[in-house]
């Protein structure tokens, strides 16, 4: 594992060095060196990478969310925190769920998440989550839940702004962070339009959802997908036309969040309303 990580760092280093050299406009002699480096990195890529039994060039992961099925049980949020050792408070989430409620005679949508003070009070703990029953005496005309997480964008703004290349988009489409290389500037946290990133104060580095990379590279589902009792969350490989996510996208009119950002998210939604952003 350690060796794999070294390989990954080396690959990143080669890639960023290559970009740096290109950026500086080094020609001729430098050019041949660059070509050699690229070739070396490429040949590594054609082998199994980043681990011996997982080849990231063979996969193209994507995620689907059917908001019409979400019941707001929040098992996904708790599973995620436990699986990924996320800080157990109401300020750090790799995934969260939003509740959208429309009341009779009120045009404005009411939005809250389980991290909301009232909901935390209802659960009685910052590390256990539930939605309170605040609308029980109101006339609700429409309501739905929307699970949110890192969109693992194809053009991620967070990767663009990282000054050291600690966060990167892997060949298989997941956006990852190298915690041993992150300098903790939090530019990525600012750049993410979805609020998917947070800062781990104790560790001094940024963090976010990895689609449970440690699981998916072993053929397992992300923890949130695994525990979802209603099949709201769908995950799979776009290279496999019969994967759950391929079918989800093929069989539904899907949409993404904030498409105008140009980030090209790889989380696809159905059943969300105009007020969801």
- The yes or no reply on residue 186 touching other proteins (CB under 8 A) is yes
* Binds other proteins (CB under 8 A): choice among 111, 143, 154, 238: 111
Q: Kindly state whether residue 13 participates in binding other proteins, applying the rule CB under 8 A.
A: yes
3-state class of 195 per DSSP? coil
CA distances from 106 to 111, 142, 144 (A): 13, 11, 16
CB of residue 158 to other proteins, shortest distance in Å: 9
What is the footprint of other proteins within residues 209-228 (CB under 8 A)?
none
| Count of positions on this chain that bind other proteins (CB under 8 A) | 54
Q: Is 123 in the site for other proteins (CB under 8 A)?
A: no
261 touching other proteins, by CB under 8 A: yes
Work out which of 71, 140, 164, 220 binds other proteins, going by CB under 8 A.
164
101 binds other proteins (CB under 8 A): no
Distance CA(269)–CA(253), nearest Å, equals 9
The yes or no reply on residue 138 touching other proteins (CB under 8 A) is no
Is 182 a binding residue for other proteins by CB under 8 A? The answer is: yes
Q: Going by DSSP bridges, is the β-strand pair 233-237/198-200 parallel, antiparallel, or unpaired?
A: unpaired
Give the strand pairing for 95-103 and 61-66. unpaired
In angstroms, the CA 207 to CA 65 distance is 22
Report d(CA 173, CA 160) in Å as an integer.
15
CB of 249 to other proteins, least distance (A): 25
Integer Cα distance of 250 and 242 in angstroms:
10
250 binds other proteins (CB under 8 A): no
In angstroms, rounded to a whole number, what is the distance separating the alpha carbons of residues 50 and 85? Answer: 22
- The candidate with the shortest Cα–Cα distance to 93, out of 209, 226, 210, is 209
Under a CB-based contact definition with an 8 Å cutoff, are residues 61 and 216 in contact?
A: yes
Q: Determine, following the binding rule CB under 8 A, whether residue 40 of this chain makes contact with other proteins.
A: no
Segment near other proteins (CB under 8 A); pick from 67-75, 84-92, 138-146, 235-243? 84-92
Residues in the site for other proteins, rule: CB under 8 A? 12-13, 16-17, 19-20, 23, 90-93, 96, 98, 111-115, 148, 157, 159-166, 181-187, 189-199, 201, 203-206, 261-262, 277
């Amino acid at each position: 594992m350690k060796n794999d990580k070294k390989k990954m760092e080396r690959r990143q280093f080669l890639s960023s060095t290559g970009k740096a050299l290109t950026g500086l406009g080094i020609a001729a002699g430098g050019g041949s060196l660059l070509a050699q480096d690229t070739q070396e990195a490429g040949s590594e890529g054609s082998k199994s990478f980043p681990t011996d039994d997982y080849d990231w060039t063979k996969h193209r992961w994507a995620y689907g969310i059917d908001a019409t099925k979400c019941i707001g049980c929040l098992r996904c949020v708790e599973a995620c925190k436990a699986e990924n050792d996320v800080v157990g408070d109401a300020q750090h989430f790799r995934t969260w769920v939003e509740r959208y409620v429309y009341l009779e005679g009120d045009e404005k949508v009411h939005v809250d998440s389980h991290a909301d003070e009232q909901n935390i009070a209802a659960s009685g703990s910052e590390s256990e989550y539930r939605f309170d029953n605040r609308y029980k005496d109101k006339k609700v005309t429409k309501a739905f839940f929307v699970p949110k997480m890192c969109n693992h964008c194809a053009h991620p703004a967070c990767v663009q702004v990282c000054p050291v290349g600690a966060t990167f988009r892997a060949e298989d489409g997941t956006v990852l962070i190298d915690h041993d290389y992150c300098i903790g500037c939090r530019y990525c946290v600012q750049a993410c339009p979805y609020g998917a990133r947070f800062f781990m104060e104790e560790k001094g580095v940024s963090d976010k959802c990895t689609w449970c990379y440690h699981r998916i590279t072993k053929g397992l589902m992300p923890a949130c997908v695994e525990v979802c009792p209603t099949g709201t969350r769908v995950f799979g490989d776009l290279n496999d036309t019969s994967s759950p996510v391929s079918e989800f996208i093929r069989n539904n009119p899907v949409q993404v969040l904030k498409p105008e950002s140009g980030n090209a998210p790889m989380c696809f939604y159905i059943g969300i309303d105009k007020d969801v952003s």
